């Protein structure tokens, strides 16, 4: 899940105080409050604001109209190919989230938008890594093509490493580990999930820590799995049941006779 268009903003000492404030709110699931700090009077600010509200949709299944409005503003202000490509990438992510969460089937729109972003964002540009990751999400969860997803996640992982984007790395580690788990590669899965969790804890990305704990639990044996799942459950409750889609994963399996 998820997507971090503003990866790294506000996460390091010496960052702009506004970005630090935005990051703190975002990481605690306060996307609307974070977005309210940004005046959408430049392409960059409008895009960041839209990205926050798109992320809120994916984590809460709410706020779709606000995200659409913010995205239209970002699309209108975009002038360079990079800006237009980044806006298209967010458009694709919003359509993907809508489809994945069964709000409305927008799979074709998601594919078209990410294809448009690929034509606009230059290979090797920082935004390309995020685009590759999101194309991997489409391949894995909508096209059900794990091979294509793995290739896209690996490109995203390499790009995130090259551009020193630890938050995006936490996503690529987690999704590559998920594919490994599906194939029974437990050691590889545990390593990837543990790296994702480590990065999120170091960054203070609280809203992403519960999913990371739950994923690691899926690759562990008891009693460690139960401990990790309980910790994830506490964080999940602390954040008011966000991300919403984690609830099923945290529900213990029913006892069988």
Distance CA 126, CA 141 (A): 24
Question: What does the block give as tokens for 141?
Answer: 């969860």
Distance CA 252, CA 129 (A): 35
Distance CA 247, CA 233 (A): 9
Tally Cβ neighbours within 10 Å of residue 20. Answer: 16
Instruction: Quick: pLDDT tens for 6-57.
Output: 444 445 545 689 999 999 999 999 999 999 999 999 999 999 999 999 999 9
Instruction: Quick: pLDDT tens for 96-130.
Output: 999 999 999 999 999 999 999 999 999 989 899 99
pLDDT number for residue 238: 94
Please, are residues 63 and 56 in contact by the beta-carbon 8 Å criterion?
yes
**Sorting pLDDT into bands at 50, 70 and 90, what band is 244?**
very high
Instruction: Quick: pLDDT tens for 13-22.
Output: 456 899 999 9
Distance CA 91, CA 94 (A): 5
Question: What does the block give as tokens for 228?
Answer: 């990790």
Cα end-to-end span (Å), the chain: 34
**Sorting pLDDT into bands at 50, 70 and 90, what band is 252?**
low
pLDDT number for residue 16: 86
Question: What does the block give as tokens for 79?
Answer: 């002038």
Please, are residues 23 and 9 in contact by the beta-carbon 8 Å criterion?
yes
Averaged pLDDT for residues 148-155 = 98
For the chain, which domains are there?
Answer: 17-244 (1.25.40.10)
pLDDT(253) > 80: no
Tally Cβ neighbours within 10 Å of residue 162. Answer: 12
Q: Residue with structure tokens 């996503």?
A: 171
Instruction: Quick: pLDDT tens for 64-88.
Output: 999 999 999 999 999 999 999 999 9
Q: Which residues are within 8 A (CB) of 191 and not within 5 positions of it... i.e. 6 or more apart?
A: 177
Identify the residue with better confidence: 251 or 198: 198
Instruction: Quick: pLDDT tens for 185-239.
Output: 999 999 999 999 999 999 999 999 999 999 999 999 999 999 999 999 999 999 9
């Amino acid at each position: 899940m998820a997507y971090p268009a503003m990866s790294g903003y506000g996460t390091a000492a010496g960052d702009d105080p506004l970005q630090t404030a935005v990051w703190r709110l975002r990481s605690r699931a306060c996307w609307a409050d974070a977005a309210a700090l940004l005046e959408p009077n430049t392409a960059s600010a409008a895009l960041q604001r839209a990205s926050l509200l798109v992320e809120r949709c994916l984590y809460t299944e709410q706020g779709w109209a606000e995200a659409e409005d913010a995205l239209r503003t970002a699309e209108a202000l975009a002038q360079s190919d990079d800006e237009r490509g980044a806006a298209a990438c967010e458009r694709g992510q919003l359509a993907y989230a809508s489809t994945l969460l069964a709000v409305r089937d927008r799979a074709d729109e998601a594919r078209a938008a990410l294809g448009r972003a690929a034509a606009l964002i230059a290979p090797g540009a920082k935004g390309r890594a995020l685009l590759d990751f999101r194309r991997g999400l489409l391949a894995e969860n909508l096209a059900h093509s794990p091979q294509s997803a793995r290739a896209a996640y690996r490109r995203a992982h390499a790009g995130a490493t090259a551009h020193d984007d630890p938050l995006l790395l936490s996503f690529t580690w987690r999704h590559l580990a998920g594919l490994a788990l599906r194939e029974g590669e437990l050691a590889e899965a545990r390593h990837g999930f543990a790296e994702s969790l480590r990065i999120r804890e170091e960054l203070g990305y609280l809203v992403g820590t519960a999913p990371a704990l739950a994923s690691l639990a899926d690759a562990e044996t008891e009693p460690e799995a139960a401990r990790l799942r309980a910790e994830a459950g506490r964080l999940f409750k602390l954040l008011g049941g966000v991300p919403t889609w984690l609830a099923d994963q945290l529900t213990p399996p029913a006892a069988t006779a």
